[in-house]
Amino acid sequence: MNSNNKVACPLDCYDACQGQMIENNIKGSKEHKTTNGKLCVNFANLLKEKNLEKAIYEGKEISLDESLNILVDKLKQTTPIKTLFYKGSGNIGVMQSVTKNFFTLYGSTLTRGSLCDGGGGAGIEAGRTNVINPPLEKLLNADVIVVWGRNFSVTSSHMYNLVKDKTFVTIDPVCTDIAKKSKIHMQINPKTDYELALLLTRFAHMQDLEDKEFIEEFGNNADDFFDISRGRPVVSYEATTGIPLSLVNDFFDLIENKNVAIMVGLGVQKYFEGSQIMRCIDSFAAFMGYHKKEAGGVWYLSNSAFGYKKPFEIKGNNKKVSIPKVDFGSYDLVFIQGANPVVSHPNTKKVIEGLKNSFVVYFGTTLNETCEYANLIIPSTSFLSKKDVRLSYGHELKSISQIVKEKTQESLSEYELTNFLLEKFGFEKLKDEDEIISYFENHKPNLEEFETFEFLDELDIEPLYKQKTQDNFYFITAKNKNSLNSQFSKDDFVYLNSKTNFKDGDIVNISSKYGNAKFEVKIDDDIKENCAFFFAGNKNANYLTPADEDEDSFSAMYQEVLVQIELS
Ligand SMILES: Nc1nc2c(c(=O)[nH]1)N[C@H]1C(S)=C(S)[C@@H](COP(=O)(O)OP(=O)(O)OC[C@H]3O[C@@H](n4cnc5c(=O)[nH]c(N)nc54)[C@H](O)[C@@H]3O)O[C@H]1N2
Ligand SMILES: Nc1nc2c(c(=O)[nH]1)N[C@H]1C(S)=C(S)[C@@H](COP(=O)(O)OP(=O)(O)OC[C@H]3O[C@@H](n4cnc5c(=O)[nH]c(N)nc54)[C@H](O)[C@@H]3O)O[C@H]1N2
Ligand SMILES: [Mo]
């Protein structure tokens, strides 16, 4: 029997599960704590995908060798800086990043920042240097879990399963699945989480609940932070956040003398000042001393590569562009790997116009909306037929991928493509694949905790509610249970509360200052009445979003926008 039977789920998700091939079926591993013997609906969806098996040039199938020759010729004919390397997160195995090694040496323009968690990460770094999560054990030992801008039971269903019997509090404008299971749901107005964090800080102080020892030993500027929270009358927060003070009282009753875990998600930071908002929440947690308790703490999307050397990263002085601001049309050649910018990148109109004006190479496993604008499509090998390791941004466990299925001849892994290009251009080849993988497999990073915590001491945020009128809506976009960003099932609806007076099936024109598109309405009273909700992967939602960066981290800010809705 083939002893290679491990399969890591490659999908961009907190859980990073470990599977095992047993008699031609892949089962969730029982030894991997978060996987706990089960795999999810999206893993099943992934197995059903129809993988690309042929290269395509200008709409016609060609052989893999021909496609590689075209790529090499094009790269040789183009000024390197006029090429863009754009990598998405369709597969987030460690080995996916080796391609950057070639494009760095070759001299391509690279991207910086993120379409995902960058703003929040910058906020955490400002307070405690590294974006790392506490060990999973501390979550398992917490009493109360505060789910803050995260759809916990949907976007990390395995982590949720380990703690599902605990007491939950949810802070979310949407009455999510986890909000329904929570003792307290604070249905907050979008982009007011920093105000709630300040209000909680104020209440904590009034009830003498702050952790004075933590503040004394680790905290810098805690007084300044507290002063910010004192700047406004307590009652004024009710109207802006939409949260009754009575709920805040209930919250403190619930958490008194309890070990508290705060699970923060993307929701709080999809804004221009996302970093400050996250830092405000993290500062509240520090005020309570949650970062250094026996159990509990603050979880976010951690830097999963923290504490690992980068065995294939090359330092270059390549030009870098902020990812949300990328103008595809200003490059002669764009190389897109594992991404679907036509759906997932902000401002779809600008993306499509740009792609039409460039020679687009798509390197991926499946055909997606971006392929429509690709001149050359090179098939990437399925995750079942290439080696990899998965680190996780949700917890400290890893999973391994071995080759469990023979690959088709007409595809290449990221490792193979990189070595091919390195050789063609006379650069040094990559280290041995097994050597790289075994380093990641065996190295245990030292997740050192911080020695000082810098509290937020100045706050400058322009709330969206100042521009909010009776006639516009907050734009909310979040993940779907049955899809992984733009992969798998499609949902192009706009979800609205019935109090908006729209009806199921209405066709509406939605516009923002960045663009407009048509949507079919679905009525859903889980959505707050001042919000218009769209799932990630909705092919029209990003016509409405800004192709611009947040203030701190070159990252997208999908929700820094209000929209108008009219019957069409
Ligand atoms: N099933 C599934 N799982 C996934 C993914 C998927 O597509 N499908 N995607 C993966 C990826 S790439 C990522 S980055 C993670 C992200 O996973 P999460 O961190 O859960 O992120 P989102 O689903 O984008 O948003 C989380 C919540 O924030 C809420 N929210 C929106 N605006 C605000 C606000 O202003 N304040 C507050 N408090 N809440 C707000 C939304 O209503 C939503 O419930 O999930 C991963 N897991
Ligand atoms: N409106 C809206 N937009 C969003 C978000 C949102 O919540 N709402 N979320 C944002 C977030 S958090 C993220 S992370 C981004 C994600 O945005 P992207 O990184 O663009 O991810 P996807 O759109 O899922 O596209 C991934 C593609 O990778 C390909 N792929 C899969 N496996 C492999 C592989 O092994 N190798 C290669 N080469 N390709 C592979 C698949 O075919 C798939 O089409 O989207 C962002 N955009
Ligand atoms: Mo993401």
| pLDDT tens per residue, range 395-413 | 999 999 999 999 987 999 9
From 9, 45, 51, 340, the mutation candidate for ligand 2 (largest count of ligand atoms within 8 A of CB) is 340
Report the pLDDT value the prediction gives residue 501, as an integer from 0 to 100: 94
243-267 residues labelled b (16+ CB within 10 A) or e (exposed): beeeebeebeebbeeebbbbbbbbb
Helical (H) or strand (E) element with 436:
helix 433-442
User: Residue 296 has what pLDDT?
Assistant: 98
pLDDT of residue 28: 98
pLDDT the model gives residue 409: 78
**Which residue has 């095992």 as its token pair?**
20
**Which residues pair with residue 564 across a beta bridge?**
472, 511
449 phi-psi bin (left φ>0, alpha ψ -120 to 50, beta other)? beta
CA 251 – ligand 2 centroid, Å:
36
Record the tokens describing residue 441, joined without a space. 């497999």
- What pLDDT does 408 receive? 81
Q: What's the confidence (pLDDT) of residue 447? A: 87
pLDDT of residue 449: 85
| Side-by-side strand order, sheet with 18-22 | 6-8, 18-22, 25-28
Q: Which helix (H) or strand (E) holds 61?
A: strand 60-62
**Spatial distance between the Cα atoms of 163 and 137, rounded to a whole number of angstroms:** 11
Three-class DSSP labels, 139-176: HHCCCEEEEECCCHHHHCHHHHHHHCCCEEEEECCECC
Handedness of CA 295, 301, 307, 311 (dihedral sign): positive
Protein residue with its CA nearest to atom 36 in ligand 1: 268
Distances (CA, A) of 478 to 148, 193, 309, 485, 533: 13, 17, 33, 9, 8
Helix (H, G, I), strand (E, B) or coil at 17: coil
d(CA 566, CA 165): 43
Query: What pLDDT does 1 receive?
Result: 42
Question: What residues are paired with 412 via a beta bridge?
Answer: 380
Q: Are the CB atoms for 277 and 268 separated by under 8 Å?
A: yes
- Residue stretches of the chain with pLDDT short of 50: 1
Stated as kind and residue range, the H or E segment containing 435 is: helix 433-442
**What tokens appear for 70 in the block?**
């075209």
Which helix (H) or strand (E) element contains residue 523?
A: strand 515-523
- Counting from 1 in the atom list of ligand 2, the atom nearest the Cα of 345 is 47
User: pLDDT value at position 448?
Assistant: 84
C-alpha closest to that of 524 among 492, 491, 497, 493: 497
Which ligand 2 atom minimizes the distance to the CA of 341? 20
Ligand nearest to the CA of 527: 1
Using CB distances shorter than 6 Å, the residues near ligand 1 are 12-14, 42, 116-117, 148-151, 154-155, 171-174, 176, 188, 190-191, 193, 265-268, 476, 478-481, 483-485, 536, 559
Look at residue 311 in the predicted model and tell me its pLDDT: 87
pLDDT tens digits, one per residue of 459-485: 999 999 999 999 999 999 999 999 999
What are the CA-CA distances from residue 236 to residues 184, 202, 229, 232, 302 (Å)?
Answer: 21, 13, 12, 7, 34
